[in-house]
Structure 1
């Protein structure tokens, strides 16, 4: 699975070029934005909630997530109006990292407001990761997909771009296969995340 991402395949885009290319396709007539997220910790550039979390202020981090409710709701309403659906598969290792605990609280808001999110235990994909972890993948309709690149500080640094229709179709089929193995987000959240105390940030 995901063979097309092996090695250095794809056209490498620096972060500004990736964001511009993504925006161009996103504003087109696509009907689906699908993501596979594998990494267990990242640095979220430009997120006030993540900044509060990273500073150790968990209460502020949660408050800032909730403060985004109206804008996130408007975003999903606008997307639904143009027929665009959002689907996400989040791979999770245990015990969950502090970052993942923060992210899952952000995802709870998105799930409540219209994003379809499923969670898959990393142990379920061990056979797919004998050589390397699964890539961080973003698929926009049947037009383009990206393997996101992160730098040494775990910040987004760009992406590898793929536009071959057969590769995109195969990747989405593989995405669907993994989603069927996953768990509905809110069930996972209530069992694994809601009972946790504030995370300790190093």
Structure 2
């Protein structure tokens, strides 16, 4: 597989990434691929995420459900978003929260699946899988994050020598993955509320 981290691409700020992304997101027809590998992100001002961080787990889940209209509007208007979520156990608090969010997104029309981290190890010689959004035949974004897990922008990659192999690789892993809603109902929903470790002063 060609290494995404060294692929030639245009570095975008968070604002430029959002602008470039939404230029095509709701107009693109066909499958849009999203690969998520990291086990913790910073969701900024998201109310449900912040309720979870405060230890208000039931409130967090309630806020997710109340946001279903906004979440539905976040799905592509014409294309089909297929998300492949790599999961490690034991779950981080973030992952426990996000899997509930992704199950809701799947119920609203996204096509999410889960794959265990050992299943992708062959692709991870030297570095974890990158965080990717792929518009096949057009471009892909290598999404960038800081040490806290907050998005700092993306690299826009258009070369077919990189986009096409990664499209095929993500699609192949997706075929081996488990449907997300059933996974969450079976393995995640029965868990006790997540417990965050307080940050050191």
Match of 1:165 among 148, 160, 164: 160
Q: Could you report, residue by residue, the CA deviation over 1:55-102 in whole angstroms, capped at 9, with x for unpaired residues? A: 1111111010000123334554x72xxx31111000001111110000
Per the alignment, residue 70 of structure 2 pairs with: 71
Report if the CA contact (8 A) 2:81-2:111 is conserved. Answer: yes
Q: TM-score, normalised by structure 1?
A: 0.90
Partner of 1:49, secondary structure, is: helix
8 Å Cα contact 1:30-1:142 kept in structure 2: no
Answering whether residue 138 of structure 2 is matched by residue 151 of structure 1, we say no
Q: Which residue of 2 aligns with 1:37?
A: 36
CA distance in 1, matches of 2:195, 2:136: 38
Closer/same/farther in 2, CA of residues 30 and 143 from structure 1, 3 Å limit: farther
Return the alpha-carbon distance in structure 2 between the equivalents of residues 53 and 94 of structure 1: 19
Aligned positions, number: 197
Unaligned runs of 5+ in 2: none
User: Could you report, residue by residue, the CA deviation over 1:125-164 in whole angstroms, capped at 9, with x for unpaired residues?
Assistant: 1122121000000012432211110012210001111112
Q: Secondary structure at the match of 1:153?
A: coil
Quote the offset at 1:187 in angstroms.
2.2
Aligned to 1:11: 10
Equivalent position SS for 1:120: strand
1:131 corresponds to which of 126, 134, 151: 126
Quote the offset at 1:48 in angstroms: 1.0
Name the CA shift for 1:143/1:188 in 2 (closer, same or farther; >3 Å): same
Corresponding residue for residue 101 of structure 1: 96
